[in-house]
Amino acid sequence: MDPEARIQQFRKLIEQDPSSDMAHFSLGQALSQAGRFDEAAESFARCVELNPAMTKGFQLAGAAFMAAGKDDEAKAILLRGYEEAATRGDLMPKRAMADLLTQLGEPIPEVEDKAPAEPEGSGDFKDRKTGRMGTRLPRAPFRNGVGTWIHENISKESFDEWIKLGTKIINELRLDLSRDEHDAVYDYGMRRFVGIDDDLYKELMDGREPPKVEAQYRDVIDEIMRRGGHLEEFQGGMHTRVQG
């Protein structure tokens, strides 16, 4: 699909759901590929406004503002993003933003690194994934059968946990969600995390086959899930396991 078609695709998704952080993130990537850095920066900035846990968005927003010649805007969003990444324990975006801030001549903030807090097991909604009580998502995350199933079976605490892990997977595997094959990898990771296998996917999506994922990516995602989502030991080197 050509860049302009991808841009229009993601704009349509945003029209349908303006609160979708992933749609804004993907639009930013598509705009960056088209060299439209000013617009890309605004899309990434909207993504992190909706979901500050998407720390890669801060990094890409800063880089896009720099490419557009807007250094002041780049400094502001990179400083925010650096603190957010440090607080959440997202090492790769933190390092990348430190490099960008250095290029801009901006001192690196002193922020204590922290790991994300574990989700609490309280609430009035039983999570099918964990078996714990939690909070029901306010709405389905997607306007399709998969989104409805998640809304009916997965708590907000678990889905927030996926968003954090999904962000780390994007960082580790250097996924570009404006590419169909990379978007399929992210989708596969989400389905593995919440417990939607291929058969259930087809049932939920009226017989449609799930997006195809290259075996090398599938193997890495499966390993991530076997390790409970703990990626720290890979130290940013997991992308060397795949060719993309």
Reported as a single tens digit per residue, the pLDDT across 121-172 is: 567 899 998 888 999 999 999 989 999 999 999 999 999 999 989 988 898 8
Residue 83 maps to which CATH number? 1.25.40.10
How confident is the model over 175-181, as a mean pLDDT?
90
pLDDT in the model for residue 28: 94
Asked if the structure places residue 42 within a domain, the reply is: yes
How confident is the model over 23-41, as a mean pLDDT?
93
Average pLDDT of every residue of the chain: 87
Tokens of 113: 């690194």
Residue 47 — very low, low, confident or very high, per pLDDT cuts 50/70/90? Answer: very high
Give the number of domains in the chain: 2
Give the domain range for residue 95: 3-103
pLDDT in the model for residue 19: 87
Residue 235 — very low, low, confident or very high, per pLDDT cuts 50/70/90? Answer: very low
pLDDT over 90 at 45, yes or no: yes
Are 92 and 142 contained in the same domain? no
pLDDT in the model for residue 20: 86
Are 84 and 47 contained in the same domain? yes
Are 132 and 233 contained in the same domain? yes
H helix intervals, the chain: 3-16, 21-33, 37-50, 55-67, 71-88, 91-103, 145-153, 156-173, 180-194, 198-204, 215-226
Q: Taking a C-beta distance cutoff of 8 angstroms, is the pair 142, 150 a contact?
A: yes
Q: Which of 80-94, 208-222, 230-244 has the lowest mean pLDDT?
A: 230-244
pLDDT in the model for residue 229: 65
Each residue of 48-102: pLDDT tens digit? 999 898 899 999 999 999 999 999 999 999 999 999 988 887 888 899 999 999 9
Are 59 and 149 contained in the same domain? no
Cα separation of 193 and 157, whole Å?
A: 13
Cα separation of 30 and 182, whole Å?
A: 13
Asked if the structure places residue 63 within a domain, the reply is: yes
- pTM of the entire predicted model: 0.65
Cα separation of 75 and 62, whole Å?
A: 7
Q: Taking a C-beta distance cutoff of 8 angstroms, is the pair 99, 78 a contact?
A: no
For residue 155, give the DSSP letter: B
Q: Is 92 exposed, middle or buried (0-12, 13-18, 19+ CB in 10 A)?
A: buried
Asked if the structure places residue 119 within a domain, the reply is: no
pLDDT over 70 at 198, yes or no: yes
Name the domain boundary from 72, 103, 134: 103
Are 22 and 63 contained in the same domain? yes
Are 7 and 38 contained in the same domain? yes
Compute the half-sphere exposure of residue 91: CA atoms within 13 Å on the CB side of its CA. 10
Are 194 and 140 contained in the same domain? yes
